[in-house]
Chains A and B, each alone.
Chain A
Amino acid sequence: AQTVTQSQPEMSVQEAETVTLSCTYDTSESNYYLFWYKQPPSRQMILVIRQEAYKQQNATENRFSVNFQKAAKSFSLKISDSQLGDTAMYFCAFMKSLSNSGYALNFGKGTSLLVTP
């Protein structure tokens, strides 16, 4: 079974500081994709960043970057220069293959991030 674990239910960071959210996963597949999604109070699911397992280079999107450690099955998200608008629930997700050529996101339980002034 493929599982995704986010060990920090809640985190807080001050504006302009840096915060790292942790995620570990378990899989027997050799090639796969990992994602971080953000869910603000509006409830909308927004893709933050994506990492392909066969790429050794860590993905970066503006203030968001990941530390992907394939051997350790770790996929942490770093948010630099935190902004009030970053306050949201953050979900780590693993893309798994299904029958019938299907695939789906397997989500962790999420980390609630609060950015304070």
Chain B
Amino acid sequence: NAGVTQTPKFQVLKTGQSMTLQCAQDMNHEYMSWYRQDPGMGLRLIHYSVGAGITDQGEVPNGYNVSRSTTEDFPLRLLSAAPSQTSVYFCASSPGSYNEQFFGPGTRLTVL
């Protein structure tokens, strides 16, 4: 099992550009989520999904879109990048409520 994979590992964008951060898991987990990590802070939830076709907003959803067409994939889209979105982004998956969340290796995004 590869676990949770994220691409790319690093990305630099200019303000206003759009891009998609990819996340995939091969553990057949129903639950997937996106977090961002900023300096001096713990991870904060952006969006989550409890299964294919079902998504919802987390604590900091503004500027981000998600969709979940398959169990395996949960991409995060930045519609118009802003410097405030400079952060490290983590995708996580879990087999169900209150279970361990398995994290991907993260994507470091810089918006100039």
Chain A residues with CB under 8 Å of chain B are 4, 33, 35, 42-45, 47, 50, 52, 91, 93, 95, 97-105, 107-110
Contact = CB atoms under 8 A, between A and B. Distances in A.
Contacts of B78: none
Interface string B18-45: 0000000000000101010000111111
B33 A44 contact: no
Interface residues of B, number: 26
Given A43-B105, A45-B103, 6 more contacts: A42-B105, A44-B105, A52-B98, A95-B98, A98-B56, A107-B43
Given A99-B56, A103-B98, A104-B58, A109 B50 contact: no
Contacts of A52: 98
Contacts of A91: 42-43
A97 B96 CA distance: 12
A93 B101 CA distance: 11
A47 B4 CA distance: 14
A100 B100 contact: no
B71 to A, nearest CB: 16
Contact of B103 (A44, A50, A110): A44
B106 interface: yes
B56 A109 contact: no
A103 B106 CA distance: 20
B97 A103 contact: yes
Contact of A101 (B35, B50, B90, B92): B50
B98 A107 contact: no
Contacts of A108: 42
A98 B48 CA distance: 10
A21 B33 CA distance: 27
Contacts of B58: 98, 104
Contacts of B90: 45
Contact of A33 (B33, B88, B98): B98
Contacts of B97: 97, 101, 103
